[in-house]
Amino acid sequence: MRTAALTALAVAAVLAVAVAAAVRAPAPAPAAASSHREAPLIAEDPAADATDLYAFRSPDRPDTVTILGNWIPAEDPAAGPNWYVFSPRARYGLHVDRTGDGKADVSYYFRFRTKEPVAFLGNTAQTYSVTRVVGSRSTVLASGLQTPPNNIGPRSTPNYRSLAAAGVHDLPGGAKVFAGQRDDAFFGDIGAIFDLVAIRNGTGATGGGKDFFAGYGVHGIALQLPIAELDTPSHVIGVWMTTERQRIAIRQTKGRAKAAAQWVQVARLGNPLVNEVLIPTPLKDRWNALGPDQDAQFARYVREPILASLLNQLYPSLGPFQTTGRDDLVAVLLTGVPNLNNTGTTLADMLRLNLSTPVTAKPNRLGVLGGDVAGWPNGRRLGDDVIDIAERAIAGALIGKSLPLGDGVDANDRTNLSAFPYEPDPRSGFDNSKGVTFPTTG
């Protein structure tokens, strides 16, 4: 917008700086992961980067469903004095579609505030609010909730398990919430995968991989909700996570410039690896800015997966891998699998979960491909090996080509918790598990 008044131009210039600060916050060191740094713009904004989404029936409370989203990739626990925290200038969201149209019927939003620093050290404990939105009705479920501090070390954060346990809060109606630093439950040999889908040992089915994520943390938000609150006639829901930042719009009214803030989506994640592996790089930022109901425009890249073409080039002796007509992948990622978690004909990338599927007593890391229908792509549990599942599915596991592809990393390096929020406590910064200890000289 042009204005004649120099004052209005000055206001616009100041607000432009504010926009840049609000939409593109200072970025910690880069990292890589399942859906971490998957698009050019979000790679510059780690505090807004949605890394992994999980949705599963709670194993110890099977009448509830747990939805867990992680943000901020590859947090080094020793990265002080300004440790990783949720951005106070972002709005984090978990969304549920109950009708299969790719639009949110219920959304939960989280806003964070950072406490005053301690001496020269940043304060990693934050307060936050939880707001539920159903249609046009918005309800603040809780405010002033506190996250546990990051796991800095035995002097700063002694008895960390008890500190983390105190971060679990009750919400109305029997729900629970947790927000704070966690050990990254995702596991994978990212160093090999991004070296042109390299496999360190055989086809990846017999171990031998290196878990990039060992020792790294994330910031997680976990909700545990009664199934009755979300259930549908088909018992299937679709789930995704988002991050939004405020954008300042300048409007001129009666010759005066006026600023108005609006939330703009900068990150989205449903199924793992979709934007990172299937969507072409020039379209990744656009994908991140849209809702799942707009995903039909990207269906071509699921039906004609780039990775299948790459596998044909890199591993011709294992192929051929089918590169077109991949309706099997459309079912897994965009509509749900018939007789398992199908939500209809709308093409939408959502993590679909059939709430009537019983909890598995002994989960199989390969989920549905391993005969365990309570695992991905029917929801996603912390122990589901989504890299191995995805590689085998793209190679053709659902259309008769059984090939035990994988990355050689089959589980997280830490044991998951047996109760909410399930994701393990982060490692201690003082322990510095990735550091090298120098020999003593005295």
User: Using CA atoms, how far apart are residues 68 and 225, in angstroms rounded to an integer?
Assistant: 11
User: Using CA atoms, how far apart are residues 15 and 415, in angstroms rounded to an integer?
Assistant: 47
Query: Is pLDDT larger for residue 27 or for residue 341?
Result: 341
Compute the half-sphere exposure of residue 186: CA atoms within 13 Å on the CB side of its CA. Answer: 33
- Over residues 362-403, the pLDDT tens digits come to 999 999 999 999 999 999 999 999 999 999 999 999 999 999
Beta strand spans in 254-380 (E): 256-269, 351-354
DSSP 179-211: EEEEE------HHHHTTTS--SSTTSSS-----
Burial class (CB in 10 A: 0-12, 13-18, 19+), 222: buried
Q: With cut-offs at 50, 70 and 90, classify the pLDDT of residue 30.
A: very low
CB of 114 within 8 A of CB of 123?
yes
Q: Tell me the average pLDDT across 283-291.
A: 96
Report the chain's mean pLDDT, rounded to a whole number: 90
Residue 435 confidence (pLDDT)? 87
Answer yes or no: is pLDDT of 47 > 60: yes
- Over residues 2-15, the pLDDT tens digits come to 333 333 323 333 33
Answer yes or no: is pLDDT of 234 > 80: yes
Residue 15 confidence (pLDDT)? 31
CB of 220 within 8 A of CB of 179?
yes
Q: Tell me the average pLDDT across 140-146.
A: 98
CB of 70 within 8 A of CB of 314?
no
User: Using CA atoms, how far apart are residues 174 and 230, in angstroms rounded to an integer?
Assistant: 13
- Over residues 179-226, the pLDDT tens digits come to 999 999 999 999 998 898 899 999 999 999 999 999 999 999 999 999
Residue 27 confidence (pLDDT)? 35
Query: Is pLDDT larger for residue 333 or for residue 249?
Result: 333
Q: What is the pTM of this model?
A: 0.90
436 closest CA partner among 189, 186, 215: 215
Q: With cut-offs at 50, 70 and 90, classify the pLDDT of residue 35.
A: low
Q: Tell me the average pLDDT across 85-99.
A: 98
